[in-house]
Amino acid sequence: MIKTVIVDDENSCVEVLKELLAEYCKQITVIATGSSVDEGVQLINELKPDLVFLDIELKDQLSFAILDKLKDNNLHIIFTTAHEKYAVRAIKASCLEYLLKPVGATELVEAVNKFEKTKQIAFNQKKIEILLENMATSATNINKIAVPCNDGYVFVNSNDIIYCEADLKYTNLYTVKNERIVSSKNLGEFEELLMANPSFFRCHKSFIVNVNFVKKFLKADSQVQMQNDKLIDVSFRKKDEFLKLFDRF
């Protein structure tokens, strides 16, 4: 039995989620529901559930306020939301799970199965810390990301990334610490996380560069030389847009 709490201020959404869980995720037992930040904090601290479904936007405030008030931050959460907003990008950057409303049975089962596979991995507290930091420090940019790797996660300051390189369905991240981090996320997923930050630019189908670490643009070859001396192609159709980035300097 997986003891579960639902925190959502829309009663109809709570009932739909309970029905879906009862039909498709019989290992889940909903032990309580709440509709506000204060109720959520009280239920989670008192009942210590294995899993929490947490709506991002409650009637009184964003539900992230709950996370600041918990006695134990090593909590397994599946967020729910009706909106693709900055908060969703922050959740993705932290490698936490979320479901878009209306919640579908297939997506719900996938999220619960993923929880069961990863619930023993002791990274949840760090991922929640990254989520809270991103939400507190920026209205648009993602400052820190949890990078999934074969043996867990590497937690990276996004401003330390020199460039990202596609490697089939994987991505190699190169940092100022001379690290090469191999991630199971593809380059498109990193583009979604990083491109709101004006420092990052996808200059080629295989590369995202941090323009703060561009040392030189080689016009004849349409390449950039990065701080670590890596030469990276800039595609013809991206060249003018790329060069305009430096007009602000």
In the chain, ranges of CATH 3.40.50.2300 domains: 2-136
The helix-helix angle for 11-24 and 105-118 (nearest 10°) equals: 70
Which CATH number applies to 149-248: 2.40.50.1020, 3.30.450.260, 1.10.3720.10, 3.40.50.1860? 2.40.50.1020
Rounded to an integer, what distance in angstroms lies between the CA atom of residue 192 and that of residue 39? 34
Residue type, 2: I
Contact 183, 147 (CB under 8 A): yes
Q: What average pLDDT does range 160-166 have in this prediction?
A: 98
If phi > 0 it is left, if psi is from -120 to 50 it is alpha, else beta; for residue 97 that is beta
Which stretches of 36-116 are assigned E, i.e. beta strand? 51-55, 77-81, 97-100
Give residue 122's pLDDT: 54
Rounded to an integer, what distance in angstroms lies between the CA atom of residue 26 and that of residue 23? 6
Residue 95 CB: number of other CB atoms within 10 A?
A: 20
Phi, psi at residue 54, to the nearest 5°? -125, 115
Domain made up of 2-136: CATH architecture: 3-Layer(aba) Sandwich (3.40)
Mean pLDDT (the chain) is 89
Give residue 185's pLDDT: 93
Percent of the chain predicted with pLDDT > 90: 65
pTM: 0.75
Rounded to an integer, what distance in angstroms lies between the CA atom of residue 121 and that of residue 117? 9
In the chain, ranges of CATH 2.40.50.1020 domains: 149-248
DSSP 198: T
Q: What average pLDDT does range 124-150 have in this prediction?
A: 79
Phi, psi at residue 44, to the nearest 5°? -70, -45
